[in-house]
Amino acid sequence: MTDLTALTIAEARDQLKARAITATELTSAYLKAIETANGALNAYIAVTPDKALDMAKASDARLAAGKAGALEGIPLGIKDLFGTEGVHTQACSHILDGFKPHYESTVTSNLWADGAVMLGKLNMDEFAMGSSNESSYYGPVKNPWRANGSNADLVPGGSSGGSAAAVAARLCAGATATDTGGSIRQPAAFTGTVGIKPTYGRCSRWGIVAFASSLDQAGPIARDVRDAAILLKSMASVDSKDTTSVDIAIPDYESIIGKPLTGLKIGIPKEYRVEGMPEEIEKLWQQGIAWLKDAGASIVDISLPHTKYALPAYYIVAPAEASSNLARYDGVRFGLRVPGKDIVDMYERTRASGFGDEVKRRIMIGTYVLSAGYYDAYYLQAQKVRTLIKKDFEDVFHAGVDAILTPATPSAAFGIADQDLASDPVKMYLNDIFTVTVNMAGLPGIAVPAGLDSRGLPLGLQLIGRPFDEETLFQTAYVIEQAAGRFNAPKWW
């Protein structure tokens, strides 16, 4: 039998329905792969073999009865931000030690209802705050990719680094992830995988540990565009428990794949040519433009004039919301508790011990910009800038542009414990320069692998779409994927 973990979700789905393989065989193959590789990659922080095999057995019964769901028997990894009933859910933070919720997030409930199998919980930056998966309480995730001729460990991106690494290393068929400022798209670009951040409100946020509530959105990371489309169809839903979820029809995303681009207008924003951008990123961008033009799309230059303000505005809005959301972690009801001489001392000791450096940094920034005397100067101004960024996109789409093509990241994956980045948080924040505008405007964005850099590391392109028009993103990303080919990490783990 061939290696079952090499099958895409679409391929596995077809073989399961044809009864060529069983869900139990497929799940067992992934559990074996995790056992072999997770010690080297640290992608999973909790593996649930008994639960996985029970779910697979139930899938096999439904497949035999002809009652298969859309994801019947497909083994998935779940980012540690998603509440999973009775299973480790700690946002990779010390402050949530031992927390196992009595509820299931809406997104994972949707996946289980469609027959998916849970393999375990995936590593991530603590509370989804980071661009390298180095802020996790459980240690950094290692990228399955390495530069040519080098044994140096690289980051998989963040915050969904565990999700991206597990998909790239074939430790799951697909994975859930979340994106607040690029946390699906940047790890996907760093690992040669496909990641889509849907429109804000497309997927319910209920049961997902909150970072910045007006920016957070769940989405999938997968091996190819078709798999991402299959996963998003199951993940998306309106939800009475999340008033920001939108009651709008969920298309069959897979059906759009392969349709021609004739008549589509693709915008190229001049503001994304940033100072110091490597020449190979520009070259990749031009190659992407050529591929889309060859496929029948028309290319137009556009301007998004407030792009340069997006990153500083994001790093006011997101920490402000985080400081409010994370105030609930105090050691009283759940998670870590460090005793003190009185309740205030207990709060202080618990939070000092429970939160990592990056989370503390963002809480302090957020508390500062919301404080009396600074709210108007910082937070209110940032929200005004956010409105202008949103209007830039609205104007472009109103002018007839169907999607926007940009680089996904300003570089390929960098080294774990990179001293230049570790000593300067602002340099680390610049990893989000191409992705934060999408969150600020609430738009859908997809990262698709498009090539390798001079060191043999994957690079991605990003497509940005109209609100709730993920279909056009899948349609266009598939063209890039077909032109660029597939990229698999050379196995070293």
Kindly report the three-state secondary structure assignment for every residue of the chain: CCCHHHCCHHHHHHHHHCCCCCHHHHHHHHHHHHHHHHHHHCCEEEECHHHHHHHHHHHHHHHHCCCCCCCCCCEEEEECCECECCECCCCCCHHHCCCCCCCCCHHHHHHHHCCCEEEEEECCCHHHCCCCCCCCCCCCCCCCCCCCCCCCCECCCCCCHHHHHHHHCCCCCEEEEEECCCCCHHHHHHHCCEEEECCCCCCCCCCECCCCCCCCEEEEEECCHHHHHHHHHHHCCCCCCCCCCCCCCCCCHHHHCCCCCCCCEEEEEHHHCCCCCCHHHHHHHHHHHHHHHHCCCEEEEECCCCHHHHHHHHHHHHHHHHHHHHHHCCCCCCCCCCCCCCHHHHHHHHHHHHCCHHHHHHHHHHHHHHCCCCHHHHHHHHHHHHHHHHHHHHHHHHCCCCEEEEECCCCCCCECCCHHHHCCHHHHHHHHCCCHHHHHHCCCEEEEEEEECCCCCEEEEEEEECCCCHHHHHHHHHHHHHHHCCCCCCCCC
Closest by Cα among 162, 159, 129, 222 to 34: 162
**Cis peptide bond prior to 159, omega within 30° of 0:** yes
178 belongs to a structural domain: yes
Amino acid, single-letter form, for residue 243: T
pLDDT by residue (tens digit) across 447-457?
Answer: 999 999 999 99
For the residues 91-110, what does the mean pLDDT come to? 98
193 belongs to a structural domain: yes
Tokens representing residue 28 in the block: 């067992």
Distance of CA 391 to the CA centre of its chain: 25
How far is Cα 225 from Cα 364, in angstroms, rounded to an integer? Answer: 39
How far is Cα 119 from Cα 52, in angstroms, rounded to an integer? Answer: 5
Amino acid, single-letter form, for residue 380: L
Residue 343 clears pLDDT 70, i.e. is over it? yes
Closest by Cα among 471, 70, 10 to 257: 471
Tokens representing residue 350 in the block: 């618990």
For the residues 137-144, what does the mean pLDDT come to? 98
Contacts of 13 (CB under 8 A, 6+ apart): 71, 72, 74, 230
Q: What is the mean pLDDT of the chain?
A: 96
How far is Cα 390 from Cα 385, in angstroms, rounded to an integer? Answer: 9
419 belongs to a structural domain: no
Give the pLDDT confidence score for residue 175 in this predicted structure.
98
Confidence of residue 425 (pLDDT cuts 50, 70, 90): confident
Instruction: Return the percentage of the chain with pLDDT > 90, whole number.
Output: 94
CB 17 within 8 A of CB 63: yes
104 belongs to a structural domain: yes
Give the pLDDT confidence score for residue 419 in this predicted structure.
67
Q: Comparing 59-63, 104-108, 275-279, which segment has the lowest mean pLDDT?
A: 275-279
Amino acid, single-letter form, for residue 376: D
How far is Cα 300 from Cα 310, in angstroms, rounded to an integer? Answer: 22
Query: Is the four-CA dihedral 420, 421, 423, 429 of positive or negative sign?
Result: positive
Closest by Cα among 242, 211, 9, 16 to 107: 242
Query: Pick the catalytic residue: 105, 183, 204, 245?
Result: 183
64 belongs to a structural domain: yes
Residue 85 clears pLDDT 60, i.e. is over it? yes
Residue 482 clears pLDDT 60, i.e. is over it? yes
For the residues 98-121, what does the mean pLDDT come to? 98
Output the pTM of the full model. 0.97
How far is Cα 114 from Cα 235, in angstroms, rounded to an integer? Answer: 9
Give the pLDDT confidence score for residue 276 in this predicted structure.
80
φ and ψ of 272, to 5 deg: -85, 0
Q: Comparing 25-34, 185-194, 295-304, 423-432, which segment has the lowest mean pLDDT?
A: 423-432
423 belongs to a structural domain: no
Query: Is the four-CA dihedral 65, 67, 71, 75 of positive or negative sign?
Result: negative
Residue 1 clears pLDDT 60, i.e. is over it? no
Residue 469 clears pLDDT 80, i.e. is over it? yes
For the residues 306-310, what does the mean pLDDT come to? 95
- Domain boundaries, position 77: 4-259+446-484
Confidence of residue 367 (pLDDT cuts 50, 70, 90): very high
In angstroms, what CA-CA distances link 118 with 217, 220, 324?
20, 14, 31
For the residues 384-412, what does the mean pLDDT come to? 97
Closest by Cα among 48, 281, 81 to 172: 48
- Identify whether 234 is a catalytic site residue: no
How far is Cα 78 from Cα 76, in angstroms, rounded to an integer? Answer: 6
Amino acid, single-letter form, for residue 326: L
Neighbours of 395 (CB within 10 A): 14
Give the pLDDT confidence score for residue 270 in this predicted structure.
96
Residue 307 clears pLDDT 80, i.e. is over it? yes
Number of residues assigned to the chain: 493
Confidence of residue 431 (pLDDT cuts 50, 70, 90): confident
pLDDT by residue (tens digit) across 145-198?
Answer: 999 999 999 999 999 999 999 999 999 999 999 999 999 999 999 999 999 999
Amino acid, single-letter form, for residue 99: F
472 belongs to a structural domain: yes
What's the CATH code of the domain at 60?
Answer: 3.90.1300.10
Query: Pick the catalytic residue: 93, 105, 136, 159?
Result: 159
Number of domain units in the chain: 1
- Identify whether 183 is a catalytic site residue: yes
Of residues 249 and 426, the one with the higher pLDDT is 249
Closest by Cα among 477, 489, 466, 311 to 397: 466
Which residues are 301's β-sheet partners? Answer: 268
- Identify whether 159 is a catalytic site residue: yes
φ and ψ of 132, to 5 deg: -145, 0
Give the pLDDT confidence score for residue 441 in this predicted structure.
98
Give the pLDDT confidence score for residue 132 in this predicted structure.
95
51 belongs to a structural domain: yes
Query: Pick the catalytic residue: 59, 79, 109, 163?
Result: 79
